[in-house]
Structure 1
Amino acid sequence: MQSPFPARLKEARAIKGLTQLQLGLRLEMDANSASARMNQYEKGKHAPDYDTMKRMADELGVPVAYFFCETALDAQLIQQVSRLHEDAKNELLAQLIQNERSES
């Protein structure tokens, strides 16, 4: 199974309206290789290290976990949950646990 990372990266970059070069430059990659590096990441030929991935996520306004969501729905959920305040996250988690228990 292929990693969902390349498609999620491309999707997040497109949503932000950035070219591969623009994103690479924002990540302080060398101007001569930024576009090529981003292209290799989006094609799945190479994968960035975690620090680079974290900087990409921050620049694109998504959590790192977004890059590994297998479905579009999961990706949307991760984005929405990541934007919640900690109290709201805890409340949501408690509700989900309660729902799971009541369904068992």
Structure 2
Amino acid sequence: MKISQKDLGIKIGIDPGSASGRMNHYETGRHMPDIAILKKMATELNVPVNYFFCESEESATLACLIDKLDENGKRKLIQLLQAK
């Protein structure tokens, strides 16, 4: 996303002295951020919260594309997928 761990941490309100370390722990799976931190990260990175739980690049891309649809577009996509 072209932002350093430290910069992201600082932007979401983590103390600058520990931002890099905490974000590294989240990224490597040593610690799991709480939902409030995940929401802040999602907002800062312009992705939906479920993006962080995607297990493949394709799923992450779909999560972002679906999130950008308006409600009508989401309903149409659901109908299309259910028709298959």
Common fold, TM-score beyond 0.5? Answer: yes
List structure 1 runs of 4+ shifted beyond 6 angstroms.
none
Structure-2 separation of matches of 1:66 and 1:42: 13
Is it true that 1:68 corresponds to 2:53 in the alignment?
yes
- What's 2:35 paired with? 50
TM-score (norm 2): 0.95
Unmatched tracts of structure 2, length 5 or more: none
Is it true that 1:32 corresponds to 2:17 in the alignment?
yes
- What's 2:72 paired with? 87
Aligned-pair CA distance for 1:54: 0.9
Q: Identity of aligned pairs, percent?
A: 43
Unmatched tracts of structure 1, length 5 or more: 1-14, 100-104
Is it true that 1:59 corresponds to 2:56 in the alignment?
no
Matched residue type, 2:78: L
SS at match of 1:28: coil
TM-score (norm 1): 0.78
Aligned-pair CA distance for 1:70: 1.0
Root mean square deviation, CA, Å: 0.8
Structure-2 separation of matches of 1:96 and 1:43: 34
Aligned-pair CA distance for 1:98: 1.3
Number of aligned residue pairs: give it.
84
Aligned-pair CA distance for 1:43: 1.4
